[in-house]
Structure 1
Amino acid sequence: MTTEKLTAFGAIAKTQVNRRVILSGVVGAAAISVLAACTPGGSSGTSTASKTLTFGSGSSDDVPKRAYAAVVAAFEKSSGDKVTTNTVAHNDFQNNINTYLQGSPDDAFTWFAGYRMRYYAGKDLVAPIDDVWDKIGKNFSAGLTKASTGDDGKKYFVPNYNYPWGFFYRKSVWAAKGYTVPTKFDDLVSLAKQMQADGLVPIAFADKDGWPAMGTFDYINMRTNGYKFHMDLTAHKESWDQKKVKDVFDNWKQLLPYQSTNALGLTWQEGAQLLGAGKAGMYLLGSFVTQQFTDPAVLADVDFFPFPEIATEGMDAVEAPIDGLMLSKKGGENKAARDFLAFMGTPAGQEAYFSVDKSNLMTAKGADTSGYSEFNKKLAGVIANAKSISQFFDRDALPAMANNVMIPALQGFLKDGTIDTANLEAQAKALYAAQ
């Protein structure tokens, strides 16, 4: 099946099947069976001499899709190997990953660092790549190495890029209105109130796909309670039914009147378009938001500031997820697939990606950063100066907790400002106990 047909399949699945059903896994097997049936090539047995591989990608938006195509082209040119890329709509790929990996997956696939990497490694659904890391390990910092390591001490992940979350805004809009960057949460609320009075949507907010709200939760939680509490809560070492969690939602309630009123009907791309058009004052998202600004003048007009201080202890952390590649169990038997991951871990591989997608930051040491704009350098500095880096809620937490519990809970909170922390705790207790 062609990439276009796979993308079309993702769109059909997204419109015809209730999202909550997809997340529960009821139709996951059917969806992924279509993907598996469309996946040519690959390897079986011990195909050490294979010169072909299949690559499953959830990077379906235009910019990252073209960026991975550039990586594939560079790898094919340097290795002589042939890569067949199968691209699926991002949310469909992510939501069905468990069934995908248990079926007939591609050899290599796009995925994330953090708990979600360790979880599938622990389930023996992916291949360890210590031999790959023997070649590329010197290219990565201790933090990135740790983020690529499973609970068994083996490596399973090759970082490609990372990106900070924070507030993005247009400098010209702020200059015209006389706005200044807030450093305290109260200042943020006051600024949002002023923006609303000036006829702007103060905070572009788009949660149709469910996951963006988790980034807001993460930041308010870390700024209120600190990084360690965030990590302990996502690991369920802390109860959800306690004052600290209630404080997070109480703080968030102060921002609700200033977020997009139709947030549950907007995709993150549509939220970005509000910012780009000068209709929204700011937007809390990852730096990939800039992929949506195709006009160079608009892109040059975008700036960024970290989430303001709520409590001093929470200011040393930044949300900066790491994206990269992994091998399925089948892919672990394919030398070409291992070589592809090794290429991704080199400066050449990451430079090929960055040549198209300049919204993210290369992770390999030695990669040529001379093409970094002042904006890129600013983003990189925020990450470099952070004492702690979180991976995003749905990567730090149990997948079922993120998808089946937090998405509906947060979307309900966005509708009416209420949250049942006792129910969150009851569901968390059951889900984590079952692991």
Structure 2
Amino acid sequence: MSSLGMILLLISIILFGYWGSRRFKHLPTKRTGWSAIILLVLAFVIGGTSGNHSATKSASDQSSSKAELKDSSSSASSHRSHTKTTRRAKPSSTKKSSQSNHQDHTSVLNKLVSYTDKESAGPTGNYYWHVGKAHLTGFKSLGTSSPRFTADAEQRPAAARAKLTYQEYASSRGGRQGDPLEPYAWPSNNPIVAISYAATGRTYHGYLWNRSHSIGDSLLGAKSYTSVNNFTTGTRPQNVGADQDGGMRYGEETVENYWSDHPDTHQTVDYQTTPIYKGNESIPRGSLVDIKSSDGTINTEIAVINDAEGIKINYNTGANNAKPYHRSQATPYQHHSTTSSNQGYQDSTTHSQATTSGKWHVAPAGHVYVSKSNKYYTRVTNPQNYTKETKAQAKAAGATEALRGNEYAQP
């Protein structure tokens, strides 16, 4: 009951008492009784209205509190749901990235199978093509001194990774740093073949198979020979392409050119090569080469094709339909291998007037030794494996000076 109601009630009680006293003494009441009754009624009316208002307000407050509690609970539930969704989103994102890489590999594999089945040099004619930007994995824990070479569940060479430095490149210049290791599924027969390149119009004469680096000697030096998993069974064009600057060599030269443009740099290059196999085949159809420099100058993914134009290859055994090529058929200026320990040249010429210095045969003044890969040198250990020409004749025929030497030939 409100304060006003209480006051009216007290006044009505007093009036009732006054009215009763006058009635007892038989004195006139002057409507005192009616006044008391009216005030009493007003007191209860006002008190009842106030009570209803208070009750209504209390109910309203309780309803509001319940609503606020419900909203708060709903908000908290929504926040928990959002947090739960966000927490679940992270592995989903990782899974999506993994699926994306898998899809990229599947797409590249499909193209590799198509090209190799057709005995094709691919869209560039040089046994490689650009896929897009680099997709690197496993480099967070990889240091500059710790390359990592892996094998898959079937013990075939898998991803090879290295964080390359300029110092490694500089120290490997001037000579080969080791001997190639025999890779998984190395064929028992490595025939001497003739491969005609549509892109260059030239013909290579030499061994079909190379012990092909995943990460090359020119980039990693002696460390490139520490694991058999850094080598795959690759065709000669897979190794160097149709012009000696394609295939796997293209990726290597990409980094070499970067080092040449940034001498003594502290920047690093993440280099990853992943052989790509069809099913359970023993020899890869090709490789994915991912390269990214720490300054972002290089950021590319290259697919390399492992086949040879005009030769059908069995990728389980290495068997092929190449016609045997005999050494006596070789002619000067046709491409030949210089990078594998079992690869030699086919023709020989007279090497009079050359001088010797220890194991080296030094070309006379104005002359050079020309390899079948169309590179010329000033001194070699086995002159019968080269043609000796004047430098002018060599250049006129398209030969170029070798930039790097090895234990058999020096610029």
TM-score by length of 2: 0.24
Larger Rg: 2
Where is the helix percentage greater, Structure 1 or Structure 2? 1
- The answer to which structure, 1 or 2, has the higher relative contact order (CA under 8 A, 6+ apart) is 1
